[in-house]
Amino acid sequence: MFELLKEQPKDKILALVQTFREDKRPGKIDLGVGVYKDAEGRTPIMRAVKKAEQLWWNAEETKAYVGLAGDPAFSDAMIDLVLGDAVPRDNVAAVATPGGTGAVRQAFELIQMANPNARVFVSDPTWPNHLSILKHLGMEVVLYRYFDSESGSVDFNGMLEDLGGMRPGDVALLHGCCHNPTGANLTMPEWDAVIALLNDKGAVPMIDIAYQGFGEGLEADAAGTRAVVKGCPEVLIAASCSKNFGIYRERTGILMAVHHDAARKALTQANLAHLNRQNYSFPPDHGARLVTLVLGDATLRADWEAELEAVRQGMLDLRTQLASELQRLSGSDRFGFVAQHRGMFSRLGLSPEKVEELRRDHAIYMIGDSRINIAGLNAQTVPILAKAIVEVGA
Ligand code: PLP
Ligand code: TYF
């Protein structure tokens, strides 16, 4: 049987992690995978998370199963974090999932169960796993224009034009904030225009929010999602705790399904639990527990928010420094968008050949589409990157 298996396409982001590890050159710079790193290149356990872990080590009395949906207290805390008071709690069905990826996967499966004819409209470009999971599930994908690589900003006219082709019941996958891979995001008036268009078309928004707190701040980063929830009758939201709590390997995420009408919620909730049961029964608990503890304790929460804010500010400073260094060395404003982008990523708009040259001649690793992870830089490596970009003539 096994001989019938076919080779599968590699995850280019994870493949780059391996190539970087094998590179023996001192001073090599990793701007690849989207993992936060501090100025020393470490991915620290956040203080409040560590504290919650210590508290829980003492308090935990059993490892017996939780429920199929995970602990309802986790759902309550996350719904509050992501949606605030945009919608009554009673209108939201939710299940814990293994990471944001688990939530994305369950959302696509739910769409397929509800409406096998739904097409999923996906930004061009998007996180590669969106496309590979949709392909794996055999779902129809339609790309919508999103990024203008000349200006480094959102091609909003193109986006609206392409979303204009949606049919009732189609799904529009939107990044809640900190678009991966481009770093270019919608303004509030643009969110409002998308909401109006989706309602006009009878299409359903699905929001993937994996970087809340990394862009403009916890509240501002959720503003687009909250506007959608207020403005559209039905919304799916896949949220990840990997980045903003720094608990990548604990696999912590949540899928929310927002209803206009609370009476409809029970059926969706039962379907979400059913989906969890078919795929892995119970979602992981440890990371969800830490998140619940941190969000539920005023002191831990304040410390977490402060540390997250420092992380965000650090990335903003690196953006400003990189944009001005590129301006200084190239004498042009071409890369000014780096300071306007938000989140961990910016797509620089370099050709694959230039990306390869940077790797070969300068030991600087970025994804082939010229996406950089800003957090892979520090004050010392920003000038090195800027000089190399100018040197390869990008
Ligand atoms: N969605 C996007 C756009 C992402 O960049 C990520 C990244 O890690 C995720 C979802 C989910 O991550 P995880 O499954 O590690 O929570
Ligand atoms: O885009 C990124 O780099 C992050 C991390 O299969 C990631 O989202 C990368 C690849 C992958 C899962 C997560």
Give me the CATH topology for the region 65-296: Aspartate Aminotransferase; domain 2 (3.40.640)
Of residues 30, 96, 118, 243, which has the active-site annotation? 243
Query: Quick check: is 69 catalytic?
Result: no
Interface ipTM > 0.95:
yes
pLDDT over 90 (residue 320) = yes
Task: Check: CB of residue 240 under 8 Å from CB of residue 253.
Answer: yes
* Residue pLDDT, tens place only, 155-177: 999 999 999 999 999 999 999 99
pLDDT over 80 (residue 394) = no
Q: Where in the chain is the domain with CATH 3.40.640.10?
A: 65-296
Query: Quick check: is 243 catalytic?
Result: yes
Q: Where in the chain is the domain with CATH 3.90.1150.10?
A: 9-45+300-391
At 140, the pLDDT band (50, 70, 90 cuts) reads: very high
* Residue pLDDT, tens place only, 13-33: 999 999 999 999 999 999 999
- Which numeric CATH code is attached to 9-45+300-391? 3.90.1150.10
* Among the bound ligands, the one closest to the CA of 242: 1
Q: In this predicted structure, what is the pLDDT of residue 123?
A: 98
pLDDT over 90 (residue 363) = yes
* Among the bound ligands, the one closest to the CA of 14: 2
At 227, the pLDDT band (50, 70, 90 cuts) reads: very high
Mean pLDDT along residues 185-193: 98
pLDDT over 90 (residue 385) = yes
CA–CA separation, 104 and 116 (whole Å): 17
At 300, the pLDDT band (50, 70, 90 cuts) reads: very high
Query: Quick check: is 57 catalytic?
Result: no
275 by Cβ neighbours in 10 Å (0-12 / 13-18 / 19+) ranks as: buried
Mean pLDDT along residues 186-196: 98
